Amino acid sequence: MDEADNKGAPSHDLAPAPDADSSIEYLSRAALIRRRFWRHRLARLGIAVLLPLYFLAIFADFVAPYRADTRLKGFKDAPPSVIRFGVEANIFQPYVYARKRSFHSKTFREIYTEVEEVKYPIHFFVRGEPYSVLGLFELDIHLFGVEDGTNITLFGTDIVGRDLFSRTTIAARVSLFIGLGGVAISFVLGCLIGGISGYFGGIIDEFIQRVIDLLIAIPTLPLWMALSAAIPIKWSVTQTYFAITIVLSVVGWTGLARVVRGKLLSLRDLDFVTAARLSGGSDLYVITRHLLPNFASHLIVSLTLAIPGMILGETALSFIGLGMQEPGVSWGVLLQDTMNFGALVHQPWKLIPGFFIIVTVLMFNFVGDGLRDAADPYSL
């Protein structure tokens, strides 16, 4: 990465680079930020974890062996499958054993024991339940699966026998992308309102600032809860999804608007802005061409750091039953099953979706920190 930047940048420059060593001086600002970002170890880790997670979410239907609502008959509250490895006919082959259900004599709790007679090899790119791709056509190829007669549940199953691994991957789609959607709306609102506030100043500014103060003072979660009360229960999964995105960004834009306003206030009286305006640039032109680029990096940092808050918000709302509704799934919906903490003693695998939330939020914070350090011209 660093190498490519070193060589790439100066070749487009008018001044010829005398030798490789001094070429470092010709790096563009963007290239400098990129270099500093990649030097941040935790930020690299964040990217390395988040990218696969997002790929997992995009191809969830393909990766998941079952659909989110498929009930595996006779496999309620089954623990994760144990994957074993063996060499069959000179081929390295992972396999699982079939499981048999019995009941505890006193508590009637399900007990699953492996039947160590037949090995069921795990096949890759197998045909399974059909799913639609972007609503355009149907496919039935899955990344992995086992033959009929048994099943594979990497993360165990829930109380009605739905595969938790499939549900977690499919839920990732809602949980991971709601943050991006919410931030996108917040971005537009924040830039627009913050821009108006900072650019015009005066009474408009005072009013907008008071509104922002007020929104920040209202405890976020109760506000979200009340707003989601307005989402009709009859709405479809997609409608609910967009409604929640909007609810989350009602609060989200305030932080961004403050950043935009603060930066605009400090920039708007500088000479180059006056020059642009005197040359006949319209307000919108001056804002978008001269002012916004000046703090774009700052905006990106604020945006990245806002995403985890949105993901946590959706999770919390869904967890208490005000967010996504079945048949829609998100990590928060999956965690509803953990409300019964007594059952967790016997079925701790139901906490696995929570692990995904923690990792995602943590990684976004790492990336945000890395971006902030990289975009700060004073840190070297």
Partner 1 sequence: MLLVIVRRILILIPMLVMLSMTCFAIIQLPPGDYLSTYILNLENQGLVVDEAEVARLTQRYGLGQPLHVQYLRWMRNFLAHGDLGRSFGSYGSSHSNKPVTDIIAERLPATIIISIVSTIVVWAVAIPIGIYSATHQYSLTDYVATFVGFIGLALPNFLFAIIIMWIVFAQTGHAVTGLFSLEFRHAPWSIAKAIDMLKNIWAPVLVLSTAGIAGMIRVMRANLLDELNKQYVVTARSKGLSERRLLWKYPVRIAFNPIFSTIGWLLPAIVGGEALVSIVFNLNTIGPVLLSAVLRQDMYLAGSIIMILSALTLIGTLISDLALVWLDPRIRYD
CB-based contact 324:238 (threshold 8 Å): no
Which helix (H) or strand (E) segment holds residue 187: the answer is helix 164-200
CB-based contact 90:116 (threshold 8 Å): no
How many CB atoms are closer than 10 A to CB 263? 19
Quick one: which of 309, 304, 197, 187 has its CA closest to 253? 187
Stretch touching partner 1 by CB under 8 A, among 53-61, 103-111, 127-135, 217-225:
217-225
281-320 footprint of partner 1 as x/- string (CB under 8 A)? ---------------------------x---x--xx--xx
Task: Decide: is 378 part of the binding site for partner 1 (CB under 8 A).
Answer: no
Stretch touching partner 1 by CB under 8 A, among 49-57, 136-144, 259-267, 337-345:
337-345
Stretch touching partner 1 by CB under 8 A, among 151-159, 164-172, 192-200, 344-352:
344-352
Among 70, 288, 325, 338, binds partner 1 (CB under 8 A): 338
Q: HSE of 269 in the Cβ direction (CA atoms, 13 Å)?
A: 4
Among 6, 157, 175, 228, binds partner 1 (CB under 8 A): 228
Q: Which residue has the tokens 């309620």?
A: 76
Q: Report helix, strand or coil for 64.
A: coil
- Binning the chain into helix, strand and coil, the percentages to the nearest 5 are 60, 15, 25
Whichever of 152 and 247 has its CB closer to partner 1, that residue is 247
Stretch touching partner 1 by CB under 8 A, among 54-62, 101-109, 214-222, 285-293:
214-222
Give whole-number Cα distances, 296 to 43, 120, 179, 184, 230, in Å.
19, 54, 20, 14, 35
Among 221, 267, 292, 300, binds partner 1 (CB under 8 A): 221
Interacting residues with partner 1 (CB under 8 A): 210-211, 213-214, 216-223, 225-230, 232, 308, 312, 315-316, 319-322, 335, 338-339, 341-342, 344-345, 348, 351, 354, 357-359, 361-362, 365-366
